[in-house]
Amino acid sequence: MPSPKAKTPGRSGGSPVLGSSNGRYEFVSLNRAAPPHLLQRQGSDPATARLRASESPTRRRGSGSSTGSTGGGQGMPEEDCMRLNPSFVGIALSSLLAVDLWLSKRLGVCACEDSSWGSIRPLMKLVEISGHGIPWLAGTAYCLYKSDSTAGQEVMLNLLMALLLDLVLVAIVKALVRRRRPAHNRMDMFATFSVDRYSFPSGHATRAAMCSRFLLAHLVLAAPLRVLVLLWAGMVGLSRVMLGRHNVTDVLFGFWMGYCQYNLVEMFWLSPQALQALLGPLIV
């Protein structure tokens, strides 16, 4: 028979009293199973007590939080997962851009008079003017006008068409890419236009590569002059970086673009018949 001191658990405070032993009340935590002798006094088996303990508010709160955390991890949007795992191509391009900007700034030793090599800035500007489009267009048009032979006129006319093609293609690419010039650049270039505020690609580099290849292919030059033409093309590209006009990738892409432009010139080479058709009205 149960002890008369056993009380029914009240509504306020503590865990429920399951029984007493040796005149003392014993309290059982809801988070663990009760002892077997108290389970027998209460008239329930161990499995039922463990089931009730598992349904306690503390256990329910813990299970709910764990489920919520798991569900939150699984419910992450797919675009967020893609941002956290960038592709190898994106990492490679970002690294290449960082190296390009760093190297371009280190090589911009003539960007201003206060730079480390600022004393040779006037010489680099002369090299810059030698690769400008206006002197090349004016010189080619003058040679075409003064040429007496048909072969000379054919070469000069195709060179003039190549220079015009270069201006158009470079302007289109610059307008599409819209890459700004380096921050350390001073906009004091000779005869600039609206698209010249963009950096990619270098028009001087495309023109130097195309014209040097054109001259080496269609003019009979001695070996020292051929080497001089190649050195001039390389100096034009190097001056663009040293003056701070372009980044390294702008110049490298410009050399490649100019090399490919010459292939277009060879594909659409103007024959003597086409030359006579174009220059006939001017001669008459």
Question: 78 is written with which tokens?
Answer: 């797919």
What SS3 class is residue 21? strand
Q: Which helix (H) or strand (E) element contains residue 205?
A: helix 203-218
Q: CA dihedral defined by 253, 257, 258, 262, rounded to 10 degrees?
A: 160
| Residue 271: Cβ within 10 Å count | 10
Whether 246 is catalytic: yes
Burial class from Cβ neighbours inside 10 Å (0-12, 13-18, 19+) for residue 153 reads: buried
Find the distance separating the first CA and the last CA of the chain, reported in whole Å. Answer: 137
Question: 1 is written with which tokens?
Answer: 């028979």
Rounded Cα distance, 227 and 224, in Å: 5
Question: 169 is written with which tokens?
Answer: 């293609």
Catalytic residues: 204, 246
